[in-house]
Amino acid sequence: LSPSQFREEGKKIIDWIADYYENIEKYPVLSQVEPGEVIEKLPNNPPQKAESFESIMKDMDEIIMPGITHWQSPNFYAYFPSNTSFPSILGDLVSSGLGVQGMIWATSPAATELETRVLDWLAEMMDMPEKFKSTSSGGGVIQDTASTSALTAVIAARERATKLESNKSGVRQKLVAYVSSQTHSSLEKAIKMAGIGSDNLRTIDVDATFAMRPDLLEEQIQGDKSNGFLPFFVCATIGTTSSNGMDPIRKIGEICNNQNCWLHVDAAMAGTAMLCPEFRHFKDGVELADSYCFNPHKWMFTNFDCDVFWVGNRSELINTFSILPEYLKNKATESGAVFDYRDWHVQLGRRFRALKLWFVIRQYGVEGLQYHIRKHVEMARDFARWVDASSDFELMVDPPLNLVCFRHKSDDEFNLKLMNAVNESGKAFFTHTKMNGRIALRMSIGQTHTEERHVKQTWELIQNTAKKLSLL
C-alpha cells in the first residue's frame, strides 16, 4: 500500500467507523452467534495472494460484525463499561501511525515525557496527593490493565518487605497479604504470580455496604503476626466490582502504616469519579497509600487499554524492576535525568498510550469530563429510584456511583431467566453477580453515548419482560 492508497482506504475506514456509530443501536447489543459460528466462516488457510481492502471489509461486515458484542452501544450496561470516544480513537490511530515503541526515554523522548506530564495533569485533576506526582517522590505510569498494576504493586511490596532479598533468592519469608471478600479476582491472581501463594492471602469480611471492615483487618494482622507470619500488603478498593463497595481508605491506611504493610488502592472503575469534587470523599486517606490505580479505559472515554498506576515512591518500583542489559545502555539513562518506563513495570516494550489520553483530556477539557460523569451518576440514581418505587423489584444496596445492584423479588432462577431474556432480545445487555448469597442484577451505567431515554427504555424492557415471564 502506498501512502496515497493508504489515504484513500483510510478515509473509507473512518467513514465505516462513523457509520457504525450512527447505526449502533440497530445491532443486537449482545452478539447472537453460536459457538464456532464465526470460525466456521473463516478459511482454514491464509491467503497466498494479496487481497483488496474491499474484500476484507466485506468479510468484516458479513463475518466479523455478527460476532461482535457492542460495548459502545448506549444500551450496554454489563460488567463495567469499557467506553471510548472519537478523540480517543483518533489519538490511538495517530499512535498506530507513528508506531513508536517507547520502552526507554531514548526510543522516543516525547512518548515518555508526554506520559509523565499527562499523568501529573490527571493527579491534579483528581486532587491526588503531591507524592504521586513526578515532580515529587513518586509518579505515574500507564499500564495495560488494573490486573498488571496489582501485580506490579504486589511485587514492589514483596521487595520492600524482604529488602530486595526475594528478587535474588525467591520468597523465603512467610509473607501474607489482605483483601476483602469483594476485592477483584486480579488480586488473587497477582498473589499467585508473585510467588506468595493464595494460601497466604487473607480475605477480610465486609459490612452491610460491602466495604472492608478495618477492625477485622487489624485483628487478622495481629493474629498472623503472633503466628510468625509477615504481613506485607493490603489492597483496598474504591468501587468493588460486584457491589461498588467503598473501602474506608483512611482507616485501612492507618493500619497499614502502623503495621508496615504496602497499601494498594484499586479504583479501576470508580477512580474516574474523582474528577468531580463531590465524589472525592471516597478517596479520603489516599495520601496513606503506596500505590493507586484506575482505568481510563473503563469510564474515562479512553479506549482499551489504559490503566493509570501511581506510586508514592518511584525508587521502590525502579529498584524492584530495573535490569540494564548492555544493549539498552545509553547516554540519557546513564545521566539519570530521564525516566525509562520499562523500569516501572513488568513488560519492556510499550505502546504510546499517553497520546489517546492527551487527546481525550484536551478535547473534552476537565469540565466536559465532569459533565459526562455526573450525567452517568444521575442516571444511575434515577434508575435506583425507579427500582425502589417498584413493588416487584428491590435494591440490593444504595448505589454510591453509577452501578445499580437490584433484583426481582422472586427467586434466583427467575432473576437469571429475566436477565437472559432481556439480553437475548438484543435491546440491552446487563450482567449479574451474587450478593449475600443471592443473585443480583447489575446495571452499570457508563457508556459514552447513553442518555436518559436509553435507561428509561431499558427499565421498561426489564419490567415488561418480568411481567411476561411471570405469566408463563
Q: 210 or 393, CB closer to ligand PLP?
A: 210
**104 vs 397, beta carbon nearer ligand PLP:** 397
115, 142 Cβ separation under 8 angstroms: yes
Closest separation in Å from C-beta 42 to ligand PLP: 27
Q: CB nearer to ligand PLP: give 240 or 320.
A: 240
The separation between CA 229 and the C-alpha centre of its own chain, rounded to angstroms, equals: 32
Name the residues that contact ligand PLP, by CB under 6 A: 80, 145-147, 184, 186, 237, 240-241, 266, 268-269, 295, 307
Shortest gap between Cβ of 80 and ligand PLP (angstroms)? 5
Q: Which of 456, 377, 345, 419 is nearest to 115 (CA)?
A: 345
The grid cell for 186 is 486480579
Eight-state DSSP code of residue 107: G
Shortest distance in whole angstroms from residue 146 CB to ligand PLP: 4
**370-371-374-378 Cα dihedral, nearest 10 degrees:** 180
Phi/psi at 448 (5° precision):
-50, -40
| Residue placing its CB nearer to ligand PLP in the complex, 107 or 450 | 450
Closest separation in Å from C-beta 103 to ligand PLP: 21
The Cα-based distances of 238 to 184, 212, 285, 340, 401 in angstroms read: 11, 10, 12, 29, 11
Quick one: 240 or 433, whose CB is closer to ligand PLP? Answer: 240
Handedness of CA 449, 451, 455, 460 (dihedral sign): negative
**Nearer Cβ to ligand PLP (116/186):** 186
C-beta of 80 vs 292, nearer to ligand PLP = 80
Rounded to a whole number of angstroms, the minimum distance from the CB of residue 210 to ligand PLP is: 12
**With contact defined as beta carbons under 8 Å apart, do 172 and 209 qualify?**
no
Instruction: State the minimum distance, in angstroms, from the CB of residue 397 to ligand PLP.
Output: 16
For the chain, how many residues are written? 472
Give the strands of the sheet with 393-395, arranged side by side: 393-395, 403-408, 438-444, 431-435
Q: How far is CA 425 from CA 411, 454, 462, in A?
A: 22, 15, 11
Q: Shortest approach of ligand PLP to residue 239 CB, angstroms?
A: 6
Question: With contact defined as beta carbons under 8 Å apart, do 237 and 266 qualify?
Answer: yes
CB of 399 to ligand PLP, least distance (A): 15
Residue placing its CB nearer to ligand PLP in the complex, 154 or 466: 154
d(C-alpha 346, C-alpha 143), whole Å? 9
